Amino acid sequence: MSTVYLGLGSNVDARRNIRIAIEWLQEHFIDAAFSPVYQSPAVGFDGEDFLNLVARVETRADPLSLKQLLNEFEDSHGRNRDAPKFSDRTVDIDILLYDELVISDSDLEIPRAEITRFAHVLKPLADIAADLLYPGGEQTIADLWADFPKNDIELKQIDLG
C-alpha cells in the first residue's frame, strides 16, 4: 500500500462539490483522512472563492492509474479540461505526494509544485502531514509552512456544515 496526499479544490457550488469529493474518496480509498477546509480567493483569475483541503489515502494504484481514476471522477462532475489552468473548477483533485516518489514528466509531477507555491495547498497539507519529510528535501512539511511567506495570505478555515 502507498500513502498518497491529494489536494482538493472547488469554486463552483463549492460546499456541495467538496462534500461529494470527500464522500467519493471515503468510498474508494482505505483510511481516508482529511485536513480542515480553507476558503481562499481565486488565484490567477477573477472568480468565486475556492474551498481547499488535503486528503490522505492509502492505495494500491500506481501514480498514473491513480491520476486517471481521479481525472475520471473530475470529468464525471463537470470538469472542463479545455479551460485555462487558472479558471473556475467544479472539482479539482491533484496528487500532491505519493510515498517518497519524485516524478517529473509530461504526464505527472510529484511532488506537485503548488505545494511550495500556494498557501491554500501547503497549509492544509501541514495540518495533516506536519512531520512528513518533503520528498527529495531535508525539510518537513511543517518546516515548509513555517518558512512560507505569510504576508498577504487570505486563508480562512471554515466548517463545511
pLDDT tens readout for residues 38-70? 999 888 778 899 999 999 999 999 999 999 999
Say how many C-beta atoms besides its own lie within 10 A of residue 137's C-beta: 12
Please report, for the chain, the start and end positions of each structural domain, with discontinuous segments joined by +: 2-158
Is this structure's pTM higher than 0.85?
A: yes
Q: Where are the alpha helices (DSSP H) in the chain?
A: 14-28, 63-76, 114-117, 119-129, 141-147
Distance of CA 123 to CAs 65, 73, 128, 145, Å? 27, 25, 9, 6
Q: What percent of the chain has pLDDT over 70?
A: 95
Please give the CATH architecture assigned to the domain spanning 2-158: 2-Layer Sandwich (3.30)
Q: What is the four-CA torsion angle of 124, 100, 112, 103, rounded to 10 degrees?
A: -170
